[in-house]
Amino acid sequence: MWAGLGRYTPGAILFRQACQLILPRRCPLCGRVLGSVPACPDCALELKIRARWQSEGPCAPPPALGGGIVAWAAVPFWYAGGIRDALLRAKYREQPWTAVQLGCILAGQLFGAQIRVRAGVEVPTPLAVPPVDCDLLVPVPSSGRGRSYNVPALMGLPLAHALGIPLEERALLRTRQGTPQAGLSREERLIHTAGLFRAEARYAAGRRVLLLDDVLTTGATTAACAQALTAAGAESVAVIGFATSRQNRTLPAKPGIPFDLDAEPDEPEDF
C-alpha cells in the first residue's frame, strides 16, 4: 500500500506531486509544512546538534555485534530530541511518509547523496560511484505490532535509489512475533532475538548485504539478522542505522570503517 511513497519513476513522482495539494510535504522533525522548500530552517540546528561525529579513537561495536559478525556498521545520529520524536512518529503514529523522508536524510548524511525537491517531492540523485561495496539492501523486518508498514523498509527506498542497489524485503523474515525490547537488558534482548529471523538463500546467497535498521541500541536484533543472513550464504553483512544511544560512542558515524575488535566497546544503556 505504501510502496509508492518511495518509487522514483516519472509516473510515481507525478502522482505524489498531485498529492501535495491534499497532503503537503512536511518536516519530519517538527511537522512544519515545507512544500518545495528544500529543508526546514527551524530544524537545521537540531539535525546538526544530533549528528554524530567520527571519533579519532578505535571503533568498537556494541557487544552483540562483536566477534566479526558484521564487516562494519555506521549510524549518523544520536537517538534524542527531534530525531527521536521523528522516529517515534514514523513508528507509532501512522506516518509512513516520515520514514521515507528520514531515509532521504540518511542517504545525504551517511553517503553524501544530493536530495532534490521537485514540486514538493524529495528525489535522491543516484550516486555516480557507490561509496560502499554492497549490492543488496535488506531492511530489518517489522515487529508486526499494529503497523501496516515497515519503517526500515520505507527508509530504505530512497537509500536504495541513491546507492543504485536493489532493496529486498523478502530476503529476511521473522519466524515469530518478538517481545517488545524497550527496557530489556542486553542479555534479555539476546535471548529474545535468538532464532527470531530466517533469511532466504535465493536472495541472500553470495550477496554483500547492507542491513538497515532505524535505531541501534545493544545490537541484539541486528546481530540476529546478520547471523541469519550469513547462514543463508551472504558473502558479507554491513549495518547502517539512523540513530543510536549515546552509550555507543565508539560506533562509527561513517560507513565502511572496520571495527577494531581489540578495542573495548562502550557498555550499552537501554532506553
| Residue range 158-191, pLDDT digits in tens | 999 999 999 999 999 998 665 555 555 555 555 5
pLDDT for residue 194: 63
Helix axes 81-92, 151-163, angle to 10 degrees: 110
d(CA 61, CA 70): 9
Mean of per-residue pLDDT scores for the chain? 85
How much of the chain exceeds pLDDT 90, in percent?
55
Quick one: which H or E segment has residue 222? helix 220-231
Give the tens place of pLDDT for each residue, 238-248. Answer: 999 999 998 88
Residues 6+ apart with CB under 8 A from 194: 224
In this predicted structure, the answer to whether residue 222 has a pLDDT above a threshold of 60 is yes
How many CA atoms are closer than 13 Å to the CA of 127, on its beta-carbon side? 17
Average pLDDT over residues 8-27: 81
d(CA 110, CA 119): 25
Question: What letter does residue 71 receive in the DSSP assignment?
Answer: S
In this predicted structure, the answer to whether residue 250 has a pLDDT above a threshold of 50 is yes
Distance from chain centroid for Cα 68: 21
> To the nearest 10°, the Cα dihedral for 6, 10, 16, 20?
130
Question: What letter does residue 120 receive in the DSSP assignment?
Answer: T
Of 48, 133, 128, nearest to 83 (Cα)? Answer: 48
pLDDT for residue 133: 92
Of 107, 147, 143, 100, nearest to 125 (Cα)? Answer: 107
d(CA 222, CA 237): 10
pLDDT confidence band for 262 (50 / 70 / 90): low
Within 10 angstroms of residue 201's Cβ, the number of other Cβ atoms is: 13
Residue found by looking up cell 535498521 in the block: 213
Q: What are phi and psi of 138, to 5 degrees?
A: -125, 120
In this predicted structure, the answer to whether residue 201 has a pLDDT above a threshold of 60 is yes
Within 10 angstroms of residue 56's Cβ, the number of other Cβ atoms is: 5
Kindly report the pTM of this predicted structure: 0.87
d(CA 179, CA 195): 13
pLDDT for residue 214: 96
Q: Maximum Cα–Cα distance for the chain, whole Å?
A: 55
